[in-house]
Amino acid sequence: METQCRWRRRIAALMLTVVLLVTCMPGAWAADLNVDAGFYMKQSRSGTCTLTAAAMMLRRRAYLDGLSDWVDVTENSVRPAAWSNGLAHSFTYKSMKVLYATLPSDNTVKTQTLINLLAAHPEGIVLYDRTEPHAVLLTDYTNGVFYCSDPAGNISAGRVPLSEAMVSLADASCYWYIAEDQNAAAAAPQTGELQLVGVTYPINVHAGSGLSLNGTVTATAGSTLAEVAVLVEDAAGNTVLSASANLTGAESSWSVREVDSQIPFGILPAGNYTYLVIAEDTTGASLCFTSSFTVSDAAASSGSYWSVQDPDGSMLQEEPAAQPAADSSSGSLMGLEDLFGLFGSLF
């Protein structure tokens, strides 16, 4: 009990400077992506809308990563890694791993899921509507409006409201996203500060299912870790799950995975919660990471936070990853777009 109270006092102090998950990108970066600097393109032929949308997503991510050859990310360059009569459900292109997942059927839950995903994915996600069938790059959610870039030739070029595209929010059923980005990790500046690197946080936990914890806490250069704790609080602020690092006093870094078994998300009943990772090193430097999440029947989703990538104080969310649902085990969406292409449909 004393340990828990001590951490609560520290949380209260640290929360004065904590930046929550609402802000995911420094303003300059976010504005850059809303201006077309050459991010968007039209599909080369009928049936390749998913491939073109994925190429735009990868191009924007490469731009954010500072890669000088981001303009070379095209439909043709991505095709060898991603295409087999449909966009593969899992592929890697230029150290960026793309995965596939399904969306909840309830429109309210779906809308919030997409808002969360876009907050965590500034490069956007490939949104797919099976009823057309067609895909767009969903780019952002700004002032209550979803925006996208539609690769169809009969839709305006660039960034347009989703309502003007061939994909509808109500009929969208699945998406592709960048789950891992080694370019971002390699570009992360090294600092002498207390750091959280690649710490997994939940967005939604499927009721009765677990969530694997990952990430590393690293002490300030020349110091060691004094205390690290992982907690889950309910909506009333009560600690319902907690675990502390078993430190010997000589560790300069510690893996969150060591307490994975002590934070069993699967036992949590449906509701709203807060996930916290709190650390302090021997220099007195403190760090508190918090993330609100839900437990529900919606598809499980999570993200990964890198404190070394927020030198301006704004929280960056990297590698958010929604877990694929059961029907995502096949390798690609086969044939639907090509079949419609045979009947002359415009994508």
Q: Which CATH code is given to the segment(s) 2-22+190-305?
A: 2.60.40.2550
Query: What pLDDT, in 10s, does the model give residues 236-250?
Result: 989 999 999 989 888
Confidence at residue 191, expressed as pLDDT on a 0 to 100 scale: 53
Q: Which residues contact 32 (CB under 8 A, 6 or more apart)?
A: 63
DSSP symbol at 299: P
Confidence at residue 149, expressed as pLDDT on a 0 to 100 scale: 94
The answer to whether residues 66 and 123 touch, using CB atoms and an 8 Å cutoff, is no
H helices present in 45-100, as ranges = 49-64, 75-82
The answer to whether residues 190 and 220 touch, using CB atoms and an 8 Å cutoff, is no
Closest to 162 measured CA to CA, from 144, 174, 179, 177: 144
* Bond prior to 133 in cis (omega within 30° of 0): yes
Element (H, E) at 308: none
Closest to 318 measured CA to CA, from 195, 184, 139: 184
Closest to 114 measured CA to CA, from 164, 169, 179, 56: 169
* Residue where the block lists tokens 């209260």: 12
Closest to 132 measured CA to CA, from 79, 90, 174: 174
- Distance of CA 99 to CAs 164, 276, 337, Å? 26, 27, 19
Confidence at residue 250, expressed as pLDDT on a 0 to 100 scale: 87
Q: Is 3.40.50 the CATH classification of the domain at 36-183+327-342? A: no
Sheet of strand 199-206, all strands in order from the earlier edge strand to the far edge:
239-244, 225-234, 271-281, 286-296, 199-206, 301-305, 317-322
Q: Which residues contact 205 (CB under 8 A, 6 or more apart)?
A: 211, 265, 266, 268, 293, 294, 295, 296, 300
Confidence at residue 75, expressed as pLDDT on a 0 to 100 scale: 94
- Distance of CA 272 to CAs 4, 200, 203, 207, Å? 20, 18, 10, 12
Confidence at residue 338, expressed as pLDDT on a 0 to 100 scale: 35
pLDDT < 50 regions, the chain: 1-6, 9, 11-31, 188-190, 309-347
Query: What pLDDT, in 10s, does the model give residues 113-171?
Result: 999 888 888 899 999 999 999 999 999 988 899 999 999 999 998 899 999 999 999 99
For the chain, residues classed under CATH 3.90.70 are 36-183+327-342
For the chain, residues classed under CATH 2.60.40.2550 are 2-22+190-305
152: exposed, middle or buried (C-beta count within 10 Å: 0-12, 13-18, 19+)?
buried
The answer to whether residues 171 and 165 touch, using CB atoms and an 8 Å cutoff, is no
Closest to 156 measured CA to CA, from 36, 266, 290: 36
What does pTM read for this prediction? 0.53
